[in-house]
Amino acid sequence: MVEIQQTVGAELDRISEVIDPLGERFAAAGHELFLVGGPVRDAMLGRLQNDLDFTTSARPDETERLLKGWADATWDMGRAFGTIGCRKGDWQIEITTYRAESYDPDSRKPEVDFGDSLAGDLGRRDFTVNAMAVSVPGRVFEDPHHGVVDLAQRVLRTPGRPQDSFSDDPLRMMRAARFAAQLGFDVAPEVVEAMTEMAPRIEIISAERVRDELVKLICAPWPRKGLTLLVQTGLAELVLPELPALALERDEHHRHKDVYEHTLTVLEQTIDQEDRLGGPDFVARFAALMHDVGKPRTRKFVDDGTVTFHHHDVVGAKMTRKRMKALRFSNDQIDAVSKLVELHLRFHGYGSGEWTDSAVRRYVRDAGDQLERLHILTRADCTTRNARKAARLRRTYDDLEARIAQLSEQEEMASIRPDLDGTQIMEILGIAPGREVGQAYKFLLELRMDEGPMSEEAATKALLDWWAARQG
């Protein structure tokens, strides 16, 4: 506890130039102001960011008045919920009036009633580690629900009965999984029990809000903890049913573990390579999570006792696209993840021999702007415990990346196009715009893939030969 107190003191000293003058303005007007929730928790963990949340006895109009002349900018998009936002230098600040809420059982949107005490405000919060506050400028620590104890023990509990909390706002069940993934905390048994009991309540939550929590969970430092909790409680069956379905299958190459465990391992091995992408990357991580979701639908038992999953890459890409549409992801994200799922086996289709220039060009063309992520996913998917086989796969992929780099220097592979454009095709063949121009273009593109760059003269001859054969 002493260590936590020292950490909090150091973090509050670091932001004193912001919190102390702000607190003095509210105190002079006869109002209480407390740093609250996530910022207090993060200060105790030594990871306080530039987003600060406060709660106050002042009503929104009064808060807005007190911020004028001090904040660099203010906004009131959250006024209906008692929140006024502002910016002060590099700090983003939200100040919310004490709240006492009631919920419609069929909606997560609260009927906002302003409260009159800090205790009432803290009691309505999601978890005890988010129900702590520090007065400013006085810096008196308030912790009526023993959040500091739970923080020290690295456990998530609710201030009151978890059933009541999750009934009021079912999204808090997703937040429990997300905080487990972000903080690396365990979830108290009674909270897990309530999540399991009340999982169906998540269906009243909008797809967009579920999506946002899922993205934060997957991009967190320990996504396995959060995903495992979603599967354990049955929430995954409702928000990402493709994931728990994997636990029923057995991976054909690794009989000692099911596809579910294999998938979580691939996710972690993707994370281990993210320095290639500059940091946490949702597209790469979600592609790792979804890469084998087609296996349950494509499983076939062969007479010799083996199991096959033919075309699970194609089926999985379609399933991924459908799920991401249901969760309201952007078209760009859907296209990127689906492409990676569809291509994740492409490397293995070429065998272990020497790659031809043509094969390398096609690999790069098909991957497009997802090539770097495809490198990561393919390497992460090699989870065999056979050290010799793993080393061989790594060497083979090292060779492929080297060949891509070599050809890229020679041929500008990132923008492979035929050696003749559409206008030239029409002039050479004497045809007008139409389907035949597209067919000729496709022929020249395939030729470019097979033969590499050609001179205009050679490409013209090849085009004319192709055209003559068609006419004959």
Span 214-222, average pLDDT: 98
- Regarding whether 431 and 382 lie in a shared domain, the answer is no
- Regarding whether 12 and 81 lie in a shared domain, the answer is yes
CB 102 within 8 Å of CB 110: yes
CB 100 within 8 Å of CB 113: yes
Q: State the Rg of the chain over Cα.
A: 29
Q: What is the pTM of this model?
A: 0.83
- Regarding whether 226 and 274 lie in a shared domain, the answer is no
Which pLDDT tens digit goes with each residue over 141-157? 999 999 999 999 999 99
Q: CA 192 to CA 238: how far, in whole Å?
A: 16
Q: Of the candidates 292, 244, 240, which has an alpha carbon nearest to the alpha carbon of residue 266?
A: 292
| pLDDT for 117 | 92
Which pLDDT tens digit goes with each residue over 248-291? 655 445 444 579 999 999 999 999 999 999 999 999 999 999 99
Q: Of the candidates 33, 44, 57, which has an alpha carbon nearest to the alpha carbon of residue 9?
A: 44
- Regarding whether 280 and 393 lie in a shared domain, the answer is yes
Q: CA 418 to CA 121: how far, in whole Å?
A: 66
- Regarding whether 260 and 368 lie in a shared domain, the answer is yes
- Whether the per-residue pLDDT at 242 is higher than 70: the answer is yes
- Identify the band that residue 308 occupies on the pLDDT scale cut at 50, 70 and 90: confident
Tell how strand 155-156 and strand 186-187 pair up. Answer: parallel
- Whether the per-residue pLDDT at 51 is higher than 60: the answer is yes
- Identify the band that residue 140 occupies on the pLDDT scale cut at 50, 70 and 90: very high
- Whether the per-residue pLDDT at 464 is higher than 90: the answer is no
| pLDDT for 42 | 92
| pLDDT for 331 | 97
H-run or E-run covering 141: strand 141-142
CB 217 within 8 Å of CB 181: yes
Domains of the chain: total: 4
Helix, strand, or coil here: 104? Answer: coil
- Regarding whether 15 and 92 lie in a shared domain, the answer is yes
What are the tokens at 299?
């499983």
Which pLDDT tens digit goes with each residue over 338-389? 999 999 998 876 656 567 888 888 888 889 899 999 999 999 998 766 778 7
Helix, strand, or coil here: 465? Answer: helix
CATH of residue 46: 3.30.460.10
Q: CA 171 to CA 165: how far, in whole Å?
A: 10
- Regarding whether 253 and 108 lie in a shared domain, the answer is no
Span 166-170, average pLDDT: 93
Average pLDDT of the chain is 89
- Regarding whether 279 and 365 lie in a shared domain, the answer is yes
- Regarding whether 440 and 376 lie in a shared domain, the answer is no
Among 416, 442, 458, residue at a domain's last position: 416
| pLDDT for 254 | 46
CATH of residue 163: 1.10.110.30
- Regarding whether 185 and 129 lie in a shared domain, the answer is no
- Regarding whether 94 and 22 lie in a shared domain, the answer is yes
CATH of residue 338: 1.10.3210
Which range marks the domain in which residue 455 is found? Answer: 418-471
- Whether the per-residue pLDDT at 432 is higher than 90: the answer is no
- Whether the per-residue pLDDT at 238 is higher than 80: the answer is yes
H-run or E-run covering 67: helix 60-67
Which pLDDT tens digit goes with each residue over 58-113? 999 999 999 999 999 999 999 988 999 999 999 999 999 998 765 566 665 656 67
Amino acid, res. 68: K
Among 225, 240, 255, residue at a domain's last position: 240
- Regarding whether 387 and 317 lie in a shared domain, the answer is yes
| pLDDT for 428 | 86
Among 416, 434, 455, residue at a domain's last position: 416
Contacts of 349 (CB under 8 A, 6+ apart): none
| pLDDT for 392 | 81
| pLDDT for 105 | 62
CB 291 within 8 Å of CB 309: no
Q: CA 211 to CA 227: how far, in whole Å?
A: 14
| pLDDT for 66 | 97
Angle (nearest 5°) at CA 470 between 464 and 472: 100
